[in-house]
Amino acid sequence: MGWYVLKRLIQAVPLLLAVATVTFFIVHLAPGDPMDMFLEQRYRRNIDPEVIELIRQKYGLDQPLHIQYAKWIGNLFQGDFGESFRYRRPVSTLIAERIPYTLQLTVLALLLDALVGIAFGTFSAVKQYSAMDKTVTLGSLTIYSIPGFWLALMLVLLFSVNLGWLPTSQTRSLDYELLSWPGKLGDLLWHLVLPVFVLGIGSAAGTARYMRNRLLEVLSEEYIVAARARGIKERTVTLKHAMRNALIPIVTIYGMSLPFLLGGAVLIERVFAWPGMGLLAVEAVGGRDYPVILATSMMGAVLVILGNLLADILYVFVDPRVSYGGAKKV
């Protein structure tokens, strides 16, 4: 297993280099000038065109593209993502500030997705054709079809504006700093309720449907029939034998969800004014903030590679037939 992981990581290097190169040239060849941000209407004072040109030189934007690429790749290998054109701060600092906020959201959303989706999918499969099954099927189809941002806005309207039960936006209350630590924890969780719910419930609906279908397939397999014939309890048959096989593709899906952890909540971040990575990346694209665009793209690529690797590793635990570094077990 160790050699397998090492081999995959080594293989990832040329792949990441290719991603970096393609991303760099695509971003730079797209129309738009990063210095256009100084022409934005939010600037009340007209910026001296000479200053704009000096800033362009400072960031090397006046250099030929291949020179810019060489410098950027060289810095990348040293872990230096450069400085944001818009914020004039190191990109790594910007990202480090925002990652915790995004992870709070997406990790909890993934947990909600997994717990609720798998649970309801299992119940639905076990109680096939029952009222509960129909309810779960219809409900998951409905929720899956609803755009996340619309659901978010409706929930905000109901629970925040009309009922006043939950906050409208942000990660914490204005007087958060004055709270005791249990109060702070409660405040954080209180602010997480709506965005986590919106982000997680849509995915959970999809997971529930997938889990249901997958479990129904597995429950009709011959080895399940044989297990029942041997007198094994139904609960053991379902949870120990059937679910484990049904979970194999779902493990793949969650492994591939790793990139989602950092960039999959843009719309929700916008609705709830959540200062996360997704929002940073989208604003960077709109403002042609090349260093931020490139850094977030590279992070996404790394996460995809790691996600794939994680999914492959998890296979070993979920499916004992799978082994790396040796013959397949029979």
Partner 1 sequence: MNLDKTKPIRTQCPTFILACFCFIALASTQCGRSSDRTSDVKPTITVLYPSDERVLGPYEDETPKFLVFLPLVVLNENGALEGRLAKSWEHSPDYRTWTIHLRTDVRWHDGVPVTAHDVKFTLDLLSHPEVLQESPDAYTVTVLDDSTYTITYNKRSLNPLDTWRIYYPKHLLEDLDPGNFESWEFWTHPVGNGPYRFVRHAPKTMMEFEANPDYYRGKPKIDRVVLKFGGSSLTELLSGNVDVLTYVHRMDLLRLAGDPRFRSYHAWPSHLWLNAIYWNHRHPLFRDPVIRRALTFAINRYELAKVLNYPDDVPLSDVIPTPRQLRQGLVPAPLPYDPQKAQRLLDEAGWRHLDGDGVRERAGEEFRFTAIVASRVSLAASLEKAAVYVQSQLRRVGVQMEIQALENSLAKRRLLAGEFEAAFYLFNSEAEHPFGPIRFLGEGSPISYVNPKVIEILNAAKSTMNPDERDRLYRELFPIFHADMPLTFLFPLMETHVAHRRIQGLSSPYRPDPVWFMEDLWLEEED
> Which residues ranging from 148 to 167 are in contact with partner 1 (CB under 8 A)?
156-157, 160-161, 164-167
CA-CA-CA-CA torsion for 257, 189, 266, 303, nearest 10 degrees? -30
Give me the least distance between CB of 270 and partner 1, in Å please: 7
Dihedral angle at the C-alpha atoms of 228, 230, 232, 236, nearest 10 degrees?
Answer: -60
Neighbours of 44 (CB within 10 A): 5
Of 5 and 99, which CB lies nearer to partner 1 in the complex structure? Answer: 99
Residue 183 tokens read as 């109060």
Cβ contact 105:199 at 8 Å: yes
Closest-CA residue to 92 (of 71, 76, 110): 76
User: What is the rounded distance in angstroms from the CA atom of residue 324 to the CA atom of residue 304?
Assistant: 20
Give the shortest CB-77-to-partner 1 separation in angstroms. 23
Applying the rule CB under 8 A, the residues between 291 and 330 that interact with partner 1 are: none
**CB distance 224 to 237 below 8 Å:** yes
Residue 68 or 160: the one with the smaller Cβ distance to partner 1 is: 160
Cα–Cα distances (Å) from 29 to 32, 52, 110, 264, in that order, read: 9, 20, 36, 25
Binding marks (x or -) toward partner 1, 201..220, rule CB under 8 A? ------------------x-
By C-beta, is 11 or 36 nearer to partner 1?
Answer: 36
Helices 65-77, 2-29: inter-axial angle, 10-degree rounding: 150
Q: Which 131-150 positions form the footprint of partner 1 (CB under 8 A)?
A: none
Kindly tell me the burial class for residue 184, based on how many C-beta atoms sit within 10 Å of its own C-beta (0-12, 13-18, 19 or more).
Answer: middle
Q: Which residues pair with 90 in a beta bridge?
A: 83
Shortest distance in whole angstroms from residue 3 CB to partner 1: 36
Region of 9-17, 62-70, 185-193, 257-265 interacting with partner 1 (CB under 8 A): 185-193
CB count in 10 Å sphere of residue 254: 20
Shortest distance (Å) from residue 34 CB to partner 1: 10
Determine if 69 is a binding residue for partner 1 (CB under 8 A): no
Considering only residues 237 to 276 of the shown chain, the ones binding partner 1 according to CB under 8 A are 237-238, 270, 273, 275
Cα–Cα distance measured from residue 299 to residue 321, given in angstroms and rounded to the nearest whole number: 32
Residue 235 in the binding site for partner 1 (CB under 8 A): yes
> Is the Cβ–Cβ distance between 103 and 261 less than 8 Å?
yes
In this chain, which of 5, 16, 27, 55 binds partner 1, going by CB under 8 A?
55
Closest to partner 1 by CB, 290 vs 315, is 290
Q: Are 144 and 205 in contact (CB under 8 A)?
A: yes
Toward partner 1, which CB reaches closer, 3 or 129? 129
The contact mask relative to partner 1 for 6-45 (x = CB under 8 A, - = no) is: ------------------------xxxx--x--xxxxxxx
Q: Which stretch binds partner 1 (CB under 8 A): 19-27, 233-241, 298-306, 322-330?
A: 233-241
Binders in 74-113 for partner 1, by CB under 8 A? 87-89, 93, 97, 101
Of 28, 209, 212, 288, the residue at the interface with partner 1 (CB under 8 A) is 288
Query: Closest Cα partner for 139 from 62, 240, 212?
Result: 212
Residues near partner 1 (CB under 8 A) are: 30-33, 36, 39-46, 48-51, 54-55, 58, 87-89, 93, 97, 101, 115, 119, 123, 126, 156-157, 160-161, 164-177, 182-183, 185-187, 189-190, 192-193, 219, 228, 233-235, 237-238, 270, 273, 275, 286, 288
